[in-house]
Amino acid sequence: MSLIVQKYGGTSVESIERIQNVANRVIETHLQGHEVVVVVSAMGKSTDHLIKMAHNISDHPSKRELDMLISTGEQVSMSLLAMALQQKGYHSVSLTGWQAGIKTESEHGNARILNIETKRINRHLASGNIVIVAGFQGMMIEEEIATLGRGGSDTSAVALAASLKASKCEIYTDVKGVYTTDPRVVNEARKLPAISYDEMLEMANLGAGVLHPRSVEFAKNYNVTLEVRSSIEKEAGTMVEEEVSMEGNLMVRGIAFEDNVTKITVHGLPDEMSMLANLFTILADHQINVDVIIQNTNGNQTTNVSFSLDSEVLKETLEVLKQYRSHLNYDHITHEGHLAKVSIVGSGMISNPGVAAQMFEVLANDHIKVKMVSTSEIKVSTIVDSSMMIPAIECLHEAFELDARKPVHV
Ligand code: ADP
Ligand code: ASP
Ligand code: MG
C-alpha cells in the first residue's frame, strides 16, 4: 500500500466548512487505497493572533513561552480534523509534533528538524488510522517544544514524507500551484506545470512564500515527489522535481520579490586585507543576516562597504556597528530604507550570459533605477525603490514572456 503525505495550509482549514472539505479530500485519497498522513497548519490567521496577544502582554515575550503559545494553533486544527474524520466514520488520530517523533535542534522560533522517529505514526497507520500531525512544531532533546519558523508546516510535511518514505507529498494551499510570480500581485501570472528543486529553492529564499525554503531543501535532499495544488479546485498543481526542461527558448522560470529591505553603507573603512572579514564576522556573531554586498575603494586608501538587510534588523545593526566603531575604524554610516528586492530565477540562465544585461535594459527602459545587484548561477537579484517594486515585476514578467496572455511556444 502506498503512503501519501498531504499538507493543508491556514486558509484551507480556516473554518469548520473548510475543515469538512479537507476531511472529504483526505477520505477520497484513503478510499483510493492509500495510507494517508495529514499535516495541518493553524486555522486562518490564528498564528498571527497568538503572536499579537503575546506582544500585547509583554514587550519581549520569552522565546520559550512564545513557542508554547504559537504551537497551540496547530493543535486546534489537527484535533478538529481528526474529529471530522471520525464523525464521517473513519479511524483517525491526531498527534502533536513530539508525539509524532519530530526531533528538532535546540532553538526556539526557527528550529531545524534533525530527525523523525516514525514508530508511533507507523503503528497508528498499521491499525488503519488516518494520522493527522500538527505542522510547524517538534521537540528538542531537552523535551522543550520548538517551532520551525513562519510557514514551517510545509517543512513538517516534506520531512515526514522523507522519513516515512511516502510515495508523494502534496501541499494543498489557496492557489492552484506555483506561478511565474505571486498571482495575488500580478494578474497575468501563469501556473507552472513543473519547477526544479533548485529553481524553487531560489524562489522560496528570494521571497515566494508559497513554500517554506527548508521544505524544498528536504525535498531535494531526499528526492521527495512534491506537488503544490489547490485545496478547493481539483486540477493538477505544480510538480517540484529534480530536472525540468525550459519551455521553448525561455530563460526565466519565475520572478520573486521581497519588500522591506534597507541598504547600509559604512564609509571610510581602512583599505586592509582583513577589513571585510572583521566587519562581517562582527555582524554574523550578532546573528545579523546580510544579503547583497558591494565594496567601493576610494582613491585615498579607504573603502566604502554597502550591504542590504531586512529593515527589521536595521536598529540593532546600527547599534552593533556603533559599538565597534573604534575597532572597525570607519568614518561614518548612512542608510537608505524603503527598498525592495526583485529577482528573476531560471535554470535557462546557466547557458545564457545575456540575461542579467537584458534585465537591466528592461528596467532602464521603464526608468527603474537599480541600486544593488547580486547574481548566482540561476538568479539575478536587483534592489530597487519599494515604490518601483510592482512596476519592476510587471515589466520583467512581460519582457521574459511569462504572461498568461502570451502563448507559450513549446
Ligand atoms: P498556506 O497557508 O497554504 O501555507 P501561504 O500563504 O503560505 O499558504 O502560501 C500561499 C501564498 O503564496 C499564495 O496565496 C500567494 O499569494 C503566495 N505566493 C507568492 N509567490 C507565489 C508564487 N510564485 N506562486 C504561487 N503563490 C505564490
Ligand atoms: N501556522 C504557522 C504560520 O502561520 C505555520 C504554517 O502555517 O506553516 O506560520
Ligand atoms: Mg505557507
212-242 pLDDT, tens digit per residue, is 999 999 999 999 999 999 999 999 999 999 9
Tell me the average pLDDT across 103-130: 97
Ligand nearest to the CA of 157: 2
Q: Residue 407 has what pLDDT?
A: 56
φ, ψ for residue 369 (rounded to 5)? -80, 130
What separation in Å is there between the alpha carbon of 328 and the centre of ligand 1?
A: 42
Instruction: Please tell me if the CB atom of residue 210 comes closer than 6 angstroms to any atom of ligand 1.
Output: yes
Q: How far does Cα 388 stand from its chain's mean position?
A: 23
For the domain covering 245-410, report its CATH number.
3.30.2130.10
Instruction: Please tell me if the CB atom of residue 175 comes closer than 6 angstroms to any atom of ligand 1.
Output: yes
What separation in Å is there between the alpha carbon of 182 and the centre of ligand 1?
A: 7
Report the DSSP beta bridge partners of residue 384. 340
Of 169, 126, 190, 154, residue with least CA distance to 41:
154
What separation in Å is there between the alpha carbon of 41 and the centre of ligand 1?
A: 14
Q: Is the pLDDT of residue 50 over 90?
A: yes
What separation in Å is there between the alpha carbon of 380 and the centre of ligand 2?
A: 29
Q: How far does Cα 372 stand from its chain's mean position?
A: 23
Ion ligand 3: protein residues whose beta carbon lies under 5 Å: 9, 151
Within this chain, domains 3-174 and 245-410 share the same CATH topology = no
5, 105, 106, 153, 161 from 115: Cα distances, Å: 17, 9, 13, 15, 12
Q: Which burial class, exposed, middle or buried, applies to 35 when counting CB atoms under 10 A from its CB (0-12, 13-18, 19+)?
A: buried
Residue nearest to atom 15 of ligand 1 (CA): 182
φ, ψ for residue 86 (rounded to 5)? -60, -40
341-396 pLDDT, tens digit per residue, is 999 999 989 888 899 999 999 999 999 999 999 999 999 999 999 999 999 999 99
Residue nearest to atom 22 of ligand 1 (CA): 182
Our mutation pick for probing the ligand 2 site, out of 51, 153, 212, counting the most ligand atoms within 8 A of Cβ, is 153
Q: Is the pLDDT of residue 332 over 60?
A: yes
Tell me the average pLDDT across 252-264: 97
Rounded Cα distance between 139 and 153, Å, is 14
Rounded Cα distance between 11 and 401, Å, is 31
| Contact present, 396 and 384 (Cβ < 8 Å) | no
Q: Residue 298 has what pLDDT?
A: 82
Rounded Cα distance between 96 and 131, Å, is 11
Of 312, 311, 373, residue with least CA distance to 342:
373
> Got the DSSP string for 323-354?
HTHHHHT--EEEEEEEEEEEEEE-GGGTT-TT
Nearby residues of 227 by Cβ (< 8 Å), 6 or more positions away: 168, 169, 170, 171, 236, 237, 238, 239, 240
Our mutation pick for probing the ligand 2 site, out of 150, 172, 215, counting the most ligand atoms within 8 A of Cβ, is 150
Q: Is the pLDDT of residue 406 over 80?
A: no
What separation in Å is there between the alpha carbon of 152 and the centre of ligand 2?
A: 6
Residues 393, 399, 400: CA angle, nearest 5 degrees: 90
Tell me the average pLDDT across 193-198: 97
Rounded Cα distance between 45 and 372, Å, is 34
Report the DSSP beta bridge partners of residue 267. 332
Ligand nearest to the CA of 136: 2
The topology (CATH level 3) of 3-174 is Carbamate kinase (3.40.1160)
Ligand nearest to the CA of 10: 1
Q: Is the pLDDT of residue 410 over 50?
A: no
Instruction: Please tell me if the CB atom of residue 254 comes closer than 6 angstroms to any atom of ligand 1.
Output: yes
Burial 323-361 (b: 16+ CB within 10 A, else e): ebeeebebeeeebeeebbbbbbbbbbbeeeeebbebbee
Instruction: Please tell me if the CB atom of residue 237 comes closer than 6 angstroms to any atom of ligand 1.
Output: no
Q: Residue 350 has what pLDDT?
A: 86
Our mutation pick for probing the ligand 2 site, out of 13, 47, 48, 51, counting the most ligand atoms within 8 A of Cβ, is 47
What separation in Å is there between the alpha carbon of 339 and the centre of ligand 3?
A: 24
Across 222-291, the runs of DSSP E, i.e. the strands, are 226-230, 238-241, 254-270
Tell me the average pLDDT across 105-121: 97
Instruction: Please tell me if the CB atom of residue 181 comes closer than 6 angstroms to any atom of ligand 1.
Output: yes
What is the largest distance, in Å, between two alpha-carbon atoms of the chain? 79
C-alpha cell, 293? 554586498
| Residue spans per domain, the chain | 3-174, 245-410
DSSP 138: E
How confident is the prediction for the chain on average, in pLDDT? 95
